[in-house]
Amino acid sequence: MSKQARAFIFDMDGTIVDNMAFHTKSWLAFFERRGRAIDADEFFRATAGRQGHEIMRTYLGADLTLEQTAELDAEKEELYRELYAPHLEAVAGFEQFVATAQEADVRLAVATAAPPANIVFTLDGLDLRRHFDAVVGAADVARGKPNPDVFLLAAERCGVPPEHCIVFEDAPLGVEAARRAGMRAVVLTTTLPADAFAEFDNVICVARDFTDLNIDALFASSAVTNTTTEA
């Protein structure tokens, strides 16, 4: 009898790299140029995981065309890359964790709301793309999180059913997307504290980074636990 295929699916921003403060800072600077003052914490909670065109239409007008939102989003993402480039690095323990997962025949995917240029900036900038069986981004799905599309497509490309996938996320909208996809989730507290995820019944572990995560223990978790590796 063949062994059941398993997969880890990683959100990118805030999960593989601890960068969400820079994304928020660049969004606020972008809107400030347009005379809009927005609360940083409220903005993150409302938008993390959503695609750029969705955010543009929410804050700048639902009548914006895709061409207009794409031009605006390119401006914002250039701001972000300028701010974050000097700080680009993977979250602690990530590379060892994915190397161990590969040795255990776990399939690996990235599922992110990021546009292609940011995927190149992060994955190729850190030489991480080689680890992944699939990379799914904003250009591959029409709807951002909390819709499950990006996770379901990543699972499909890995050839693994949703119930055998575990998602790594840092944002409530992402955890909700995983729940809708029928996937368990590991929360990294790079951006928000553990209590921000208390309502989710698909969270099996909360951790500050990847250093103390055990692959077999994660896949053995079939329901919500109080497992945490936070200091």
Give yes or no: 11 in active site: yes
| 208, 188 contact by CB (below 8 A) | yes
Measured CA angle at 35 (ends 20, 23), to 5 deg: 10
Strand partners, 111: 136
Alpha carbons 190 and 169: distance in angstroms, whole number? 10
Q: Report the relative pairing of strands 184-188 and 107-111 from DSSP bridges.
A: unpaired
Question: Residues 11, 13, 18, 209: which is the catalytic one?
Answer: 11
Q: What number of CA atoms fall less than 13 Å from residue 120's CA on the CB side?
A: 6
Please provide residue 10's backbone torsions phi and psi, each rounded to the nearest 5 degrees: -105, 125
Q: What is residue 3's DSSP assignment?
A: P
Known catalytic residues are 11
